[in-house]
Amino acid sequence: MIIYDEQNLLFTLHTRNTTYQMKVDHYRVLLHTYYGPRMECGDLSGLIRYGDRSFSPNPNEAQYDRTYSLDVMPQEYSTCGVGDFRLPSVELELPNGSHSADLRYKGCELQKGKYTLPELPAFYGTEEEAETLILYLEDAAAQIMIELYFGVFEASDLITRSVRIINYGTETVRLCRCASLCLDFLRADMDLITFDGHHLMERCLDRSPLRSGIQSVGSIRGASSHQHNPFVILCDQHANEDTGLCYGAMLLYSGNFGAAAECSQYDSTRLVMGIHPYHFCWTLPPGESFTAPEAALVCSPNGFSQMSHQFHNAIRRNLLRDPYSYMRKPVLINNWEATYFDFTADKLLAIAKEASSLGIELFVMDDGWFGDRNDDNRGLGDWQVNETKLPGGLKSLVSKISDLNMTFGIWIEPEMVNEDSDLYRLHPDWVLHIPGRAPARGRGQLVLDFSRKDIRDHIYRQLQVVFSSAPISYIKWDMNRSLTDVWSAGLPAQRQGEVYHRYVLGVYDLLERLHTDYPHILIEGCCGGGGRFDGGMLYYTPQIWCSDDSDAIDRLRIQYGTSFCYPPCTMGAHVSAVPNEQNGRITPLKTRGIVAMSGAFGYEMDLNKCTVKEKEEIRQQIEDYKTYYELIRHGDYYRLSSPFENDLFTAWEHVSADKREALISFVASASRPASPFLKLYLKGLDPSLQYQIDHSEKTCSGSLLMQAGYPLPVVKGDYQAFQIYLKAK
């Protein structure tokens, strides 16, 4: 609900549990007054204090009033060059060479429904689900208008933000910085939580108290990256899963980003998030505009679990465009770890036949099906079926897969090219490269210049031929290197600062074409696993391969960190063979199944090498997943323990919306002698209900299970796992 007090120029955004407020002051500066638990009150600008602060300049309109300075005011969209020395939201390079932005309120507009962003991913909402507020800020001297967009999803406690910058003057202006989100707090006693790591170990939780100065994370790799995720949390220092005030901020963007929190000299905090300013400079000729990616905010007065539920619900309802929204996703098998590049149609069919007999429903053919692609160093860019490997092309193979009552999926990496390819030999100028320099390689490949539409069109025409040759229901879109040598032949020298962002827009463009032309196809995103796991990609690819590390014990950490923002249904998770390819660990098949079952479930192994007993266990895992599918996909997710803090076990829980069902998953750490007896304190149940345990006669009240705990059975052996199913009587 948006309330506009026209007389006092006061804007109050209410969600079910939170309030966000802004006010235009007497100098027409847009101040941020409050964001926190819902308050039924009027003007909260009295929380802002004024005083003479040395070396904090005063705007010209204040004349000799030294108690007013932008350097200490909590602003809704921070400026630069005019007296605020904290993190700026926007930086303009004006025709005279100066760098500044002085923003004053110009007007507002309220709309029913949710705003949309041309060429960019964004949450969507009907008039019943969302409202939009647009605030207009002007730099009159620069002749720049800035539109601040706010989307309010009351039921989900979600507020979205975006920015559009318009040059209405007669001279060209250059945009050197444009944040999507600025959030000022009149306090500094908070912790900053980021989700960091590396390839094969993404999104590990990192928590530290705010200190004087700037703490930041970001990426300049051309993708949101394995190293840092575009999602951060600011929270009370005592906040945990169940208590404490916390703020989650997610950027819906898949390229270079920056998120920074600055603790000022006067114990206030500013959080700024948006496109990373590294190598970013956007030229704005007269009459043109620039739109920043969307950011999404959630405030939870009751700890991390509530925050996660709010994000999960909003992402599932108002971000994912999933062809399986109203039906169960198929259980898949991917041939990569079973065959790598060394396969024939007969070898693939042998895997598919065994998979079908066990209840697997989707066969995914990974890398190696096209061009002269027998290793990492050749073939990328030549998207024609290799009929030496696959006689009769896809039509023949898919027909045989269909006869097994399985659907078919395929792997692509359209953003990349090998030098040993027909495409590169014909068009060496199509790659990102700096004239006069030899380019760097990654995984033996170069990067196609997706900022150019002619290149995207060529790639898409090739893919259309492939996708039209046989029924395809799933695409795995991969990206296996970071961007270097970022220079485009399609832009003049003074506009090379646009290439990184135009590249991301190009990726979104091709994905949107796929979504439009093949709406029945489920697209899974991948970037060497989890290197582009962000809200922007989820808009186009409703599930993402969570990590190239498929080891169940490592995945406990990866999926734990990922779950703080992103729902389990978005996490691609497979059962792979042991010893594990990435770390050599041997983990029980049951454990591998339970861990993978908490995501978009599948297998990545040669099932023909499994024993009879293992095949029977796989058959049961698939049946269990199908049984619990709705609970896992739509239920509230609770982290019952942290794999980073608990060295005995990791546990999590899915609870249905009506609290009548729950699935608890438990994985023990490496075994040790004389282990203590353990109890698990469940969450999210109805304390007044009696729950039947694992279809047995045994029952316990929700109150007992949450307050007194459930005694866990003693397990022996490394990494043992089990599940407990609860159903209210």
Q: Catalytic site residues? A: 534, 614
Burial of 699 (0-12, 13-18, 19+ CB in 10 A): middle
- Taking alpha carbons only, the member of 463, 538, 451 closest to residue 496 is 451
Backbone angles phi, psi at 141, to 5 degrees: -65, -40
Count the Cβ atoms, other than its own, within 10 Å of residue 538.
24
**Max Cα distance, the chain (Å):** 86
Query: CA separation (Å) from 305 to 39, 152, 445, 641?
Result: 22, 21, 41, 12
How many residues are given for the chain?
Answer: 729
Taking a C-beta distance cutoff of 8 angstroms, is the pair 635, 657 a contact?
Answer: yes
CA 190, 193, 198 angle in degrees (round to 5)?
160
- Bridge-based pairing state of the strands 661-668 and 721-728: antiparallel
Cis peptide before 209 (omega within 30 of 0): no
Yes or no: say if 303 and 283 are a contact pair by the CB < 8 Å rule.
Answer: no
Query: How far is 316 from 300, CA to CA, in rounded Å?
Result: 18
In terms of phi and psi (left: phi > 0; alpha: psi -120 to 50; beta: otherwise), the region of 119 is left
Looking at residue 221, its amino acid is: R
Tell me how far apart the alpha carbons of residues 128 and 176 are, in angstroms, rounded to a whole number: 38
**Distance between CA atoms of 654 and 662, rounded to whole angstroms?**
5
Query: Can you tell me the distance from the alpha carbon of 124 to that of 316, in angstroms, rounded to the nearest whole number?
Result: 11
Answer for the pair 607, 589: CB distance below 8 angstroms, yes or no.
no
Which residue reads 């700026």 in tokens?
88
Residue 429 main-chain phi, psi, to 5 deg:
-80, 0
**151, 226, 146: which is closest to 179 by C-alpha?**
146
- 332-334 and 600-604 strand pairing: parallel
